[in-house]
Amino acid sequence: MTLPITIQEAAAALRAGEISSAELTSAALERIAALNGTVGAFIAVTDDIAMAGAKQADADFAAGVDRGPLQGIPFAIKDLLATKDAPTTANSLILDPAWGAGYDAVAVERIRATGASLLGKLVLSEFAIGAPDATKPFPVPKNPWGLDRTPGGSSSGTGIAVATGMALGGLGTDTGGSVRFPAAYCGHTGLKVTYGRVPKWGCAPLGYTLDSIGPMARSSWDAAAILNAMAGYDPRDPTSSKAPAEDYLAGIEGGVKGLKIGVPVGYFFDHPMLDPEAKSTTLAVIEVLKGLGAEVVEVDLPYSAQAKEANTMTMLTEAFSYHRMDMASRWTDYGSGTRQIIARGAFTSAADYVQAQRFRSYYAKEAAKVMAKVDVLITPTIFEPAQVAANMDLNKRMLSPSYTGPFNLLGYPALAIPSGFSKDGLPLSAQIVGAPFAEALVLRAGHAYQQVTDFHLQVPEIAKQGVVA
């Protein structure tokens, strides 16, 4: 039996009776059993819960109950979000085992209510920051396109699971790019939502004023379906927005004719560290959208290099505020990369933090001027393909450009979509950015591109058995 690789395809097959959720979920569990020991995507696999959910979904279909496109879909949760029927670790020895016990995060509640089949909890960078530490008792995630390469973080397990077909969709979190990096490195789609669009109650924090929970899946259509389930205010999260959520699938077929695309050349396209292939594939995405009727204009988004630094400073300072007591008393329980990065937040003075927030307000005003002239921006998602994990250098990481962090600082929605492959066969990615709460527009642009390309449907060799490529 060939298996669907997108939620859209699987949802149609389930409703046509071509496959059951039990069959789909069983196949996903078989793939997890076969691949997880190699690629390290799952911390915990909840076989019984997944199959019970699948059987309930099939029973609901038989009874004429349809809860939407996620019903019966194999789905997985980043292990930063509480789940009532599985432990939550944040990939760390630090988190109290009682944290999150017996309840679901808001986003998980909402996914569970769709009738999705929940497969288990996914690997991440410890507390959504740092780097894998093989001395700790957690799986080390590996990129399925090259096992020696980084899969990106912090939502690495979600990226791997989607890329290999272990899950058709999953949840990630994004504070500086943590949905978009693994989506880019693993070759699928990931959406960083507007700050406050998805409630964060039940999610361990990294950067209080930056964190977001977003969908990760093969396609823009799939991401829209997941966002439909999660978006909207919840009083348990005081930072969640009361702005009405949309039906993100309703206008997704609207195309890009007449859409004005802004191309911010400075920093995003002329940085000396930008890999030529990352640049050229992003420019090719822009040309495809232009061919579909979009208007393309160059724009200037000034001070974006400084925005990257302000985002990093804000993230590390807020992370340190959360971890300060544990870092003082349990330093070696943290992974080596995690403690090195979070500890940098200790060197930020109150004056530095305030100045970063003053800059943030200024940058937001400059960005709003740009967005008043265009509908979306397009940039590369990553400045280079996935690097060899053993060669990754923390200092280089801190000094490198970030094409994602500035939009966390702004709180804007940003969609990472596959844009092609490097000469070494590694995925590359472009980023579509919108104004606050313009997720529907961003997803529509991504969907239009994915209707005429198939980069998002490419499957790594390690996962091709039983998959429609």
- Distance of alpha carbon 157 from alpha carbon 340, whole angstroms: 22
Q: Which of the residues 20, 154, 220, 240 is marked catalytic? A: 154
Is 84 a catalytic site residue? Answer: no
C-beta atoms surrounding 116 within 10 Å: 31
Q: Which of the residues 178, 241, 304, 429 is marked catalytic? A: 178
- Distance of alpha carbon 149 from alpha carbon 142, whole angstroms: 7
Is 154 a catalytic site residue? Answer: yes
Is 349 a catalytic site residue? Answer: no
Q: Is 184 exposed, middle or buried (0-12, 13-18, 19+ CB in 10 A)?
A: buried
> How far apart, in Å, are the Cα atoms of 287 and each of 258, 297, 440?
14, 12, 21
Q: Where are the beta strands (DSSP E) in 202-252?
A: 212-217
- Distance of alpha carbon 172 from alpha carbon 179, whole angstroms: 5
Hey, is 17 helix, strand or coil?
Answer: coil
Given strand 427-434, what is the order of strands in its sheet?
42-45, 117-122, 74-78, 169-174, 212-217, 189-192, 414-421, 427-434, 376-380, 260-264, 295-299
From the list 193, 170, 162, 63, the residue with the least C-alpha distance to 118 is: 170
- Distance of alpha carbon 116 from alpha carbon 67, whole angstroms: 9
Q: Please name the amino acid found at residue 221.
A: W
Phi-psi category of residue 130: left, alpha or beta, with phi > 0 → left and psi -120 to 50 → alpha: left
- Distance of alpha carbon 451 from alpha carbon 255, whole angstroms: 10
- Distance of alpha carbon 191 from alpha carbon 184, whole angstroms: 11
Q: Which residues are catalytically annotated? A: 78, 154, 178
